[in-house]
Amino acid sequence: MSESFVIGVDFGTDSVRSIIVDTRNGQEVAAAVFHYPRWKDGLYCNAARSQFRQHPLDYIEGLETTIRQCLQQAGSAVARHIKAISVDTTGSTPVAVDETGMPLAMQPAFKDNPNAMFVLWKDHTSIREAAEINAVAAAFPGNYLRFVGGVYSSEWFWAKWLHIWRVDEDVRNATYTWVEHCDWIPFLLTGGTRASQLKRGICSAGHKALYAEAFGGLPPDSFFAAIDPLLQNVSRRLFTTTYTSGEAAGHLSAAWAERLGLSTSVVIGIGGFDAHMGAVGGQIAPYHLSKVMGTSTCDMLVAPLDEVKDTLVKGICGQVPGSVIPGMMGMEAGQSAFGDAYAWFSNLLSWPLRHLFPHDSALLQEANSRMIMELSQQAAAITPDEHSEWGIDWLNGRRTPDADQSLKGTLTGLNLASDAPRVFRAVAEATCFGAKAIVDRFEREGVPVKGLIGIGGVAKKSPFIMQMMADVMGMPIRIHRSEQTCALGAAMFAATAAGIFPKVEAAMETMGQGFETTYSPDIQRTGIYENRYRKYKALGAFTANMNID
């Protein structure tokens, strides 16, 4: 194979990461990270209202900065052999755009309007709209939610679109259509000027926007009009064709080629979601649940189409032919809070320090850097028993099984001996039980889970939680070696879109970095956790009932 390099770009919740990868062996030759400055300052967000918005300039600045830094690190000899760029993003993270495909927040009139910005995946301001979509779908002929687990979530495309249009008439009047983040970045890089020509990926279309071949595309206009007349006719400005991430969106535009210092011959791949490309970067295998573990989790499973056939898994985030790996059935589940749950507890404990010593930045930084590590070490030394503290992990709602973002977290079994490590252990255990509930749902619906793959920050950094995960699941979990599996997966798709590999499986085999650690279950603890898991399910049912108005 001749010398060639590709760029994978991973847009996360807090930052964007770019890497340059040698397609001959998967070696990472350069990497750069850019933390979104507006997001870091808390602009346009209101956690009390579950409002989380991101300005497109954070993405644009991060895209340019990280790629240029990577090219500078790698040198001109590598830059001359860059063949392709592919990106992954969080999702569903859509934005309202004008007829040129430009996000409304890029216009002077909307530059500080959160409703004109990208509505981040964790934004739950559209709980009411999601409930209305579910109610209409239950009564409407056609069963249009059957490929997204039967439940539509406030984390997804249509609920967010409808909410913004309801609360902001100015944005509504200025909107031509709505676009997912993962579809907009390739459009930007290829110099797109008309939203009507924007190419949509099957990942975003199938998992979040209700696109399915069985429907002949999107559900009919009458379905959207039944949800709210505001949505009447809007699907006509969306799409009838979708593309897999192994296909090309076009080539780098002249403007962006000059901006980055690259050639217009560079291929731009179709974008996808971070968890989907992360699963590929983490070398997912059929029937192995690939757990992308960060602020939340996205759990991906792929299976041959001829084996899945008409099996439908109730309560997951979608099953879409061609997503994750083209030619296979891609299934997605996940938890709305995973690393966020640990961060919440850490922030709770550090509150006195932040308010008593607001100007002692060194103290605060030291405390933040050591908090989770110390809690994990102390919690790992606690032997689980039948009666210790336990809880429910729905601190940011429940993604799966059975999406319901109105649900809240729970802690119980507390006593005067319940110190910080014991409560932290209960929080960690709850997230592991939430993961087990997902595995149980797949298996109950007829899709076996034959193994676990852990990727992402929590998987790499927390032996305590990974060992507990193995014990709770009663099966081993392999931890992928790569520090940047999402960006690496994007690089694999870039190499496929450029024709360096005939399909992404070949890119995975050549560019994959393998696994560094396997956590095997402690059978004795697995038995204890089975009993505690039954208590988790009972507490979950109680918590859900208490949530009913």
Q: What is the pLDDT of residue 456?
A: 87
**Which secondary structure element, helix H or strand E, spans residue 526, and what is its range?**
helix 523-546
Give the pLDDT band of residue 549 (cuts 50, 70, 90): low
CB–CB of 292/324 below 8 Å? no
The CA-based angle 523-343-30, given to 5 degrees, is 90
DSSP 468: H
Look at residue 1 and tell me whether its pLDDT is greater than 80.
Answer: no
CB 262 within 8 A of CB 251: no
- 439-475 tens-digit pLDDT: 999 999 999 999 999 998 899 999 999 999 999 999 9
Q: Are 480 and 77 in contact (CB under 8 A)?
A: no
What value does the mean pLDDT of the chain take?
A: 95
pLDDT at 117 over 60: yes
Q: Strand (E) positions, 361-513?
A: 390-392, 410-412, 451-455, 477-480
Q: What is the rounded CA–CA span in Å between residue 262 and residue 259?
A: 8
pTM equals 0.91
Q: Which amino acid is at 350?
A: S
Q: 216-268 pLDDT, tens per residue?
A: 999 999 999 999 999 999 999 999 999 999 999 999 999 999 999 999 999 99
2 pLDDT band, cuts 50/70/90, is: confident
Q: What is the pLDDT of residues 304-337, one digit of tens each?
A: 999 998 899 999 989 999 999 999 999 999 999 9
Q: Hey, what amino acid is at 534?
A: R
Q: What are phi and psi of 17, to 5 degrees?
A: -125, 135
pLDDT at 548 over 60: no
User: CB of 277 within 8 A of CB of 486?
Assistant: yes
Q: Give the C-alpha separation, 324 to 326, whole Å.
A: 7
Buried b (16+ CB within 10 A) or exposed e, 60-81: bbbbbebbbbbbeebeeebbeb
User: What structural domains and CATH numbers belong to the chain?
Assistant: 5-282+482-513 (3.30.420.40), 339-481+516-546 (3.30.420.40)
Share of the chain above pLDDT 90, in %: 91
Q: Are 376 and 462 in contact (CB under 8 A)?
A: yes
Whether residue 411 is predicted with pLDDT greater than 60 in this model: the reply is yes
Distances (CA, A) of 339 to 137, 295, 309, 335, 432: 33, 4, 35, 10, 12
pLDDT class for 369, splitting at 50, 70, 90? confident
pLDDT digits (tens, 9 = 90+) for 53-102: 999 999 999 999 999 999 999 999 999 999 999 999 999 999 999 999 99
Whether 298 has a pLDDT exceeding 70, the answer reads yes
Over residues 397-411, mean pLDDT: 92
Rounded mean pLDDT of 427-450?
A: 97
Question: For residue 131, what are the contacts with CB-CB under 8 A and spacing of at least 6?
Answer: none
CB atoms closer than 10 angstroms to residue 272 = 34
Q: How far is CA 350 from the centre of its chain?
A: 27
- Segment 375-392 shows an average pLDDT of 94
Question: What is the pLDDT confidence band of residue 43, given thresholds at 50, 70 and 90?
Answer: very high
The two three-digit tokens of residue 507, written as one number: 């890119």
User: How far are the Cα atoms of 19, 90, 103, 163 from residue 198, in angstroms, in the given order?
Assistant: 25, 19, 13, 23
Q: Which two tokens stand for residue 269?
A: 């791949």
pLDDT of residue 547: 67
Cα-based angle 502, 508, 514 (whole degrees, multiple of 5): 160
The label of the residue with tokens 């830059």 reads 79
- As beta bridge partners, residue 119 has 53
- Cα-based torsion angle of the residue sequence 209, 486, 45, 407 in order, rounded to the nearest 10 degrees: 60
Query: Coil, strand, or helix at residue 360?
Result: coil
- In this structure, are residues 284 and 450 in contact, taking their beta carbons and an 8 Å threshold? no
